[in-house]
Amino acid sequence: MVCITNIYFSELELKGTYDIDGQILILPIKGHGATNIKLVGGDFDLTLKWSVHAKNGMNKFLNENSQELSENVEPAVSNTIAVILKSTFAKFSEQIPYNELFG
């Protein structure tokens, strides 16, 4: 099954801490500390793909009826994911003052 949704924001600032220990090509990269990432003009298409694995004959039923099941379930799943994402961003925006988000 596939769920496709779009997320847009004019500006998003992420503050946090980082800890990195790795390398790019032959250059070692190590460090830790505070980070402040500012994203401007975010417009993302999010595509989620998944498959269902079941036991006791359910997998056979799903395989035989996958098209009909997908047509019936996909709109509800897409809507649910959109509601969850909207709710998450609403809670996020309640925690950060408007002027910090869109200053």
Backbone phi, psi, residue 97, to 5°:
-55, 145
Backbone phi, psi, residue 57, to 5°:
85, -10
- Write down the pTM of the prediction: 0.34
Instruction: Summarize pLDDT for 28-87 with one digit per residue, the tens.
Output: 888 888 888 887 887 778 787 777 665 666 667 777 777 877 777 777 777 777 777 777
Q: Are 24 and 95 in contact (CB under 8 A)?
A: no
Q: Are 49 and 77 in contact (CB under 8 A)?
A: no
